[in-house]
Amino acid sequence: MAVSTQFKAFIGEHLTGLGAISTRHMFGGAGVYCRGVMFALIADDVLYMKVSEAMKAELAPLGCGPFMVDFGKGDEPRPMNGYWEIPQSAMDDPGEACEWGQGALDFALSQQSKKKR
């Protein structure tokens, strides 16, 4: 689940339309943060965004799926349904990436607000 320095830099630049983007290493991957909240993760140089049920419904027909976690115990990888890959077209288009990113960020912020209550 390696993350290259180049890919982290690419994501930081690609999503600048959302505001200041930062990354932090975690479990061999990296969390992607904006406004103090993690709204995406990077694993194996693939970007996965935090998704609501509505976002999953939009992403599934586009061939996108959840981040798969391999616990290394001989079991099959299992889906981590909270984070889904975004369409390849968004990786080629910063505007589209920021549209998905805004949805993920809004959802992450709403989840953070619920935790504080």
Specify the CATH superfamily of domain 5-116. Answer: YgaC/TfoX-N like chaperone (3.30.1460.30)
| Residue range 70-116, pLDDT digits in tens | 777 777 878 887 999 999 999 999 999 999 999 999 999 998 866 66
Instruction: Tell me the percentage of the chain whose pLDDT exceeds 90.
Output: 75
51 Cβ contact list (under 8 Å, min separation 6): 59, 81, 82, 83, 84, 103, 104, 107
pLDDT at 8 over 70: yes
pLDDT of 64: 95
Q: For 83, how many CA atoms within 13 A lie in the half-sphere containing its CB? A: 18
pLDDT of 81: 77
Mark residue 48 as left, alpha or beta (left: phi above 0; alpha: psi -120 to 50; beta: remaining).
beta
pTM over 0.85: yes
**Mean pLDDT value across residues 51-80:** 88
